[in-house]
Amino acid sequence: MTDTISDAVAVGRRVLSIEAQALTQMADELGEAFARAVQVLHDAKGRIVCTGMGKSGHVARKIAATLASTGSQAMFVHPAEASHGDLGMIGPDDVVLALSKSGEARELADTMAYCKRFSIPLIAITAVAGSQLGQAGDVLLLLPDAPEATAEVNAPTTSTTLQIALGDALAVALLESRGFTASDFRVFHPGGKLGAMLRTVADLMHGQGELPLIGEGAPMSEALLVMSQKRFGAVGVIDAAGALVGLITDGDLRRHMDGLMTHAAGEVMTKGPLVIGPHALAAEALKVMNERRITVLFVVEAGRPVGVLHVHDLLRAGVI
């Protein structure tokens, strides 16, 4: 059994090494054609139509999904279905991104002819520059001459990894050229943990009417009452102008246990508490809480408290 495990690990490492070397080679060879492809995609007034047959088709679907989730209008069209009516889904303002390792997938022939007939830009991703697809492309993104990880069987392994990585590179370059931000990304990812992480603090915080606040001169008896009523385990201390100047937590209470009730809130509070803005991402709030080992963050805008966020709010929202 030990030898079997060892052999399997050796195979896995060999495959990963072969594919890693191919990715490095592609990165080194990336040049002007890639920049032109990004520009063509950027300038497209319509959609980015991704297409491919077999394993390349699966990759094309993934690339379309990545582009769509990062702000580009993108979709997948199956080349065989395109030949039976779905070519009508491709408009004159679209750009076609076609994938085929050999560049000779016969199912792509009608799509290539359609692009030529209606002057629709075609970006070709293939390993053979002289292939039908390679010659038909207005922009050719040539995959490096790298061996598949299954040399004897020659099954698509390295080549599909290269296609996926190149699609990711195009998507990232495109989103950066458009100034696509995390806030934009959140619009397309409202569900699941990713959507929760991309929600803002303002989406999750408790607002006015729920804030545990007292003035600097308030007696500690009042501070304890507010802490008990609001149930956040903390109370914010504000000055006469309404600005947040301090925070009282259970730790502050323990440090001032002797003669606690003889003090005012301003004497017990921790000055200059850690705060966060309402437009910060929930993921950022979680990071702050984890790093500082705290459970409550006051949300401040222009120095004034506008909300409060508890770690339980992040838990309920699925951020944790």
198 vs 104: CA distance, rounded Å: 42
Angle in degrees, CA 236, 240, 241, rounded to 5: 90
**How many residues appear in the chain?**
320
Binding-site residue set = 78
Using alpha carbons, select from 263, 271, 273, 267 the residue that is nearest to residue 295.
273
What letter does residue 264 receive in the DSSP assignment? B
Annotated binding site for Zn(2+): 78
- β-partners of residue 264 are 219
Please tell me the distance from the alpha carbon of residue 149 to that of residue 160, in angstroms, as a whole number.
11
In angstroms, the CA 179 to CA 188 distance is 15
Q: How many CB atoms lie within 10 A of CB 21?
A: 14
Q: Distance from first CA to last CA of the chain, Å, rounded?
A: 39
